[in-house]
Amino acid sequence: MKSLFAAATFTLVLLASCTPKATPVAQAPKSATSTAEQLAQGKTIFETACKRCHDLPEPTKFTSVQWVGIMNSMAPKAKLTDEQHQWVYDYVVSVKK
């Protein structure tokens, strides 16, 4: 009886270990680098939202540090969301000097 119980327990453990684990939902990596798609979005937003009040500034005219400050003052003017702000910033600093 005792060995039967042990065998049953053993079978249960085996069964349990064969149960497929819940597959973790694939998540987009949270990385600082933006995808080509986000850069393209940023370019489009830049070219449409940033020329409403003045000529489009030349992305290469400012350093990435200067762009932080510019975007902080211009993103609210252009009514960008935080995401759009980030995309536009990523785009302008991605333009090769």
Site residues (vs ligand HEC, CB under 6 A):
46, 49-50, 52-54, 57, 70, 73-75, 77-78, 80, 88
Dihedral of alpha carbons 49, 50, 51, 52, sign: positive
Q: Among residues 23 and 76, whose Cβ is nearest to ligand HEC?
A: 76
Residue 21, Cα to own-chain centre: how many angstroms? 27
Tell me which residue of 60, 47, 57 sits closest to 94, measured CA to CA.
Answer: 60
Closest distance to ligand HEC from the beta carbon of 50 (Å): 3
Q: Among residues 49 and 94, whose Cβ is nearest to ligand HEC?
A: 49
To the nearest 10 degrees (0 to 180), the angle between helices 64-77 and 82-94 is: 140
Q: Among residues 6 and 69, whose Cβ is nearest to ligand HEC?
A: 69
Closest distance to ligand HEC from the beta carbon of 34 (Å): 16
Give the pair of three-digit tokens for residue 57.
Answer: 């500034």
Q: Among residues 11 and 61, whose Cβ is nearest to ligand HEC?
A: 61
